Chains A and B, each alone.
Chain A
Amino acid sequence: MTIETTTTGVLLLILIMTLVTLVTRFGGVFIMSFVRISPRIESFINTMASSVLIAIIVPMAFGGDAGALAALSVTAVVMLILKKPLPAIAAGILAAAFVRFMV
C-alpha cells in the first residue's frame, strides 16, 4: 500500500504518523490501568524506567563517532563530580565539537 505525496496524501501520512505516535504515548498507561500495582510490579517499572535511559545511550556510544563517545564520557565524568546536569551537558557538547574539529 502506497500513498502519493500530493497535498491530501501528505496530510494523510502525517495523520497516520500522529495516530501511531499517540498509540505509543497512551498505550503503556492504558495497559497499566488493567494491572494491579504490586510491590513487584512497582519495582519492575522503576528499574525499567532508568534502564530506558541506558538502553538509549549505550548503543548511541557504540554506534557513534569519536565525538559522540567524547560527549558521553565527558558528560558522565562531569556529572559524577559536580552532580549538576547543565554543566555536564554543556561540557559534553563542547567535547563533541572539539573532537570533531580536531579529527
Chain B
Amino acid sequence: MKNASYTYQFQPEQVRYELVRMLPISLFVVAFGAAFGLAAVQEGLGPLESLLMSTLVFAGASQFAAIDMWGAEVSVIPVIIVVFAINSRHLLMGASLYPMLKDVSPAKRYGILLLLTDANWAVSAQEYQSGRRNLEVIVGGGLALWLAWIVGTWLGVYFGGLLQNPKSLGMDMVLGCFLLAMALGGKKNPRVLVAWALAAIASLAAWKWLPANTHVVAGALAGGVVGFFWLENTSVDERVGEDLA
C-alpha cells in the first residue's frame, strides 16, 4: 500500500556507472585524505584512530578543524559546535534533494544520505536543475569518494612524509574548482544570477561579521529567498508586487 507512493526507480546498475564517473575527482580526494592523515598523526592521533575518524565522520573540513583543537584534553562543546557549523551545509544539501528522496522508502532515503558529501551532491543537484533525477550518483559517487577518503587517510598516516606540501601543487583548490565548475555548468537565468549575487554578498558579510563557519548557510539561505519570492516562468514584476502587497 505505502510502497505505491515511492515512485523513484532506483537503478542499481547505474550506481556502478556513477562510481566510475566520480573516480577522477576521487583521486584528488585521496591527496586530501593524505593531507588529513598526516595532520592527524602530527596532532597525536593514532593511525587506527585517524582511519576510524575518516571512515565514520567522512567530512573533511570538519575533521581538519577538530584535530586543530586536539590536545591532551579536548573540550567537547567547542568541538560539537565547530563540527556542526562546518557540516550544517549538509542540512541544506539534503533538503535540496528532498523532492527526489521523498520518492524512495525512508530506510533507503536515510541510507543514501549516509554517503552525502559535497562533490556527489553537486552533481546530483546540477542534474536535477536540468530535469534529470539522479540519486544513484549520491550512492555510487559517494562510495568512490568515501573509499578515496579512507585510502588517502591511510596513505597520509603511514607515508605522509612523502606529501610534504600538497598546497604547492594546488591540491587544496580541487574541491573549490570542482564546485565552481558544477555551479557554472548549471542553469543560468536572471533569476539564478540574482540569487547568486545575493548569496555572494550574504556569504561574504557573514564571513566577515558573523561567527566563523556560518557563511555557507547564510549565503545559501539568502539565495533561496530569491527563489521563494521569484518563481520560474512567472513575470517578475507581477510576482514581486503580489508578495509585497
Contacts and interface: CB of A to CB of B under 8 A. Distances in A.
Interface of A: 1-5, 7, 9-11, 13-18, 20-29, 31-33, 37, 39-64, 67-68, 71-72, 75-76, 79-80, 83, 85-86, 88-89, 92-97, 100-101
B95 A24 contact: no
Interface of B: 24-25, 28, 44-46, 49, 52-53, 56-59, 62-63, 66, 70-77, 79-80, 83-84, 87-99, 101-102, 109-110, 113-114, 116, 118, 122, 125-126, 128-129, 167-174, 176-187, 191-192, 195-196, 198-200, 202-204, 207, 215-228, 230-232
B76 A16 contact: yes
Contacts of A42: 99
Contacts, number: 293
B224 A45 contact: yes
Contacts of A97: 168-170
B220 A67 contact: no
Contacts of A72: 173, 176-177, 180
A1 B110 contact: no
A46 B113 CA distance: 18
Contacts of B177: 71-72, 75, 88-89, 92-93
Contacts of B52: 11, 14
Contacts of B93: 28, 49, 52
A51 B93 CA distance: 10
A7 B69 CA distance: 17
Contacts of B187: 50
Q: Which of A26, A48, A67, A83 neighbours the largest number of chain B CB atoms within 10 Å of its CB?
A: A48
Contacts of A3: 73-74, 76
A80 B181 CA distance: 9
Contacts of B225: 44
Summarize B's interface: helix, strand, loop or mixed: helix
B83 A20 contact: yes
Contacts of B169: 93, 97
A71 B176 contact: yes
B170 A39 contact: no
Contact of B220 (A22, A43, A52, A96): A52
Given A25-B90, A25-B116, 15 more contacts: A13-B66, A13-B74, A15-B56, A16-B79, A17-B53, A20-B84, A44-B227, A48-B92, A50-B186, A55-B217, A56-B89, A56-B216, A57-B179, A59-B204, A100-B170
A93 B170 contact: yes
Contacts of A37: 98-99, 102
Given A17-B83, A26-B113, A55-B219, A88 B56 contact: no
Contact of B183 (A9, A25, A39, A54): A54
Contact of A33 (B96, B98, B116): B98
